[in-house]
Amino acid sequence: AQRVTQPEKLLSVFKGAPVELKCNYSYSGSPELFWYVQYSRQRLQLLLRHISRESIKGFTADLNKGETSFHLKKPFAQEEDSAMYYCALEYGNKLVFGAGTILRVKS
């Protein structure tokens, strides 16, 4: 069955420290993976998709098929990065979301 696992409910880091939000998936096909973000009092929105291989707001995510992972990384966290982050797997026009990780960046 399709599944997305985000093992950390809460990740707390200091401003300027590196950030890595973990995401592992279970899927027998070729995965389409995304990261969505929900800032305080804002809507859930797409942050990045693996196919684009781009950096958004300093975040990158690399698909590792061997480890079935799609971790989200940023070298230097900023306070405005504080939000809820969801990893998502798409199949058949549906998204399966992980449980989400709250990122708190402390000053």
User: Footprint of other proteins on this chain (CB under 8 A)?
Assistant: 6, 32, 43-46, 49-51, 86, 90-100
| Sign of the CA dihedral with 47 first, then 74, 61, and 95 last | negative
Residue 90, helix vs strand vs coil: strand
Choose between 43 and 67: whose C-beta lies nearer to other proteins.
Answer: 43
CB of 66 to other proteins, least distance (A): 20
CB of 52 to other proteins, least distance (A): 8
Choose between 17 and 95: whose C-beta lies nearer to other proteins.
Answer: 95
CB of 97 to other proteins, least distance (A): 4
**Residues ≥6 apart with Cβ < 8 Å to 87:** 4, 6, 21, 23, 25, 33, 34, 35, 70, 72, 97, 98
